[in-house]
Amino acid sequence: MSLRILFITQDDPFYVRVFFEEFLKAYKPLDDVKGVVITRAIGKESTWALMKQMFAFYGPWDFLRTGTRYAGAKGLGLLQERFHWKGRSGLAQLCRTYGVEAFYENDVNSRSFLEKAAGLDLDLIISVAASVIFREGLLNLPKRGCLNIHNGKLPRYRGMMPVFWQLYHGEKEIGITVHEMNVKLDDGRILLQEGVPVEPGETLDSLMRRMKRVAARMIIRILAEMEAGSVQYRENPSADASYYSFPTKEDVKEFKRRGNRIT
């Protein structure tokens, strides 16, 4: 039995795009994917607020390097979109290369979006670094619920930037968890969990890229198990949870003092 799937994500050229490169290349049949919904960037309402947050996180030099990479990737993607050039620089272009519809949506909890999504008769919605909280109307819309990919070994490391915090605390293996979504953050039952060993000299950036490819393969495995009716769920107890927020400038300084690098 095939599943009708919708992804909700953000147009991040560094990490999200890596996930979809791996998934779209490997998953068959892609006819199951009814769309990729692209929301605004994570964390802040305005571009200026987001830039200030990222500057505090990266510091001047890493911010300049990362910002240049980001501007180049986004600019090329916009040109390809505007002039219909061939290429895969943007997430929308990548999806369309594989025949998957991609569209932008500011509010996935709005009545208009929910009505549109209901018309797709969805079995499953999958969040890939989606930058918005799913409300009950969205959570209850697909027949088999909503799934999220969390880069931490839940119930530990709930919240923001879990890969950063695991490196910060000297973890030798970084967790990836695929779990059901409910109204609480990172709280639903766990479908699959794996650990990714930290390689010598690995940066936060390189590790996050590698983890996106692992996560894509995990989603493919879960979809196969759901179709076969062999998924095994386990609890994600809140009593054992630890929660982290976005790192402060002081957190980043300590992260680097402990021998870690961001890029």
Question: Residue 237, preceding bond cis, omega within 30 degrees?
Answer: no
User: Which pLDDT value is given to residue 134?
Assistant: 97
Under-70 pLDDT residues of the chain: 1, 41-56, 61-89
Phi, psi of 132 (to 5 degrees): -140, 150
Per the document, the length of the chain is 263
For residues 197-235, b (16+ Cβ closer than 10 Å) or e, as one string? ebeeebebbebbebbbbbbbebbeebbeebeeeebeeee
- Dump pLDDT digits (tens) for 32-82: 999 999 997 654 455 666 666 666 677 776 666 666 656 555 565 566 566
Phi, psi of 192 (to 5 degrees): -155, 140
Helices (H), the chain: 16-26, 47-58, 60-83, 91-97, 111-118, 136-139, 162-168, 204-228, 249-257
**Nearest Cα to Cα of residue 6 among 113, 106, 89:** 113
Sorted by where each starts, the structural domains of the chain and their CATH numbers stand as: 5-257 (3.40.50.170)
Neighbour count for residue 5 (Cβ, 10 Å)? 24
User: Which pLDDT value is given to residue 78?
Assistant: 60
User: Which pLDDT value is given to residue 57?
Assistant: 75
Supply 240's token pair: 């054992």
Supply 91's token pair: 């997430």
User: Which pLDDT value is given to residue 43?
Assistant: 47
- Inter-CA distances, 110 with 107, 116, 117, Å: 5, 10, 11
Neighbour count for residue 156 (Cβ, 10 Å)? 18
Residue 8 bridge partners (DSSP): 37, 127
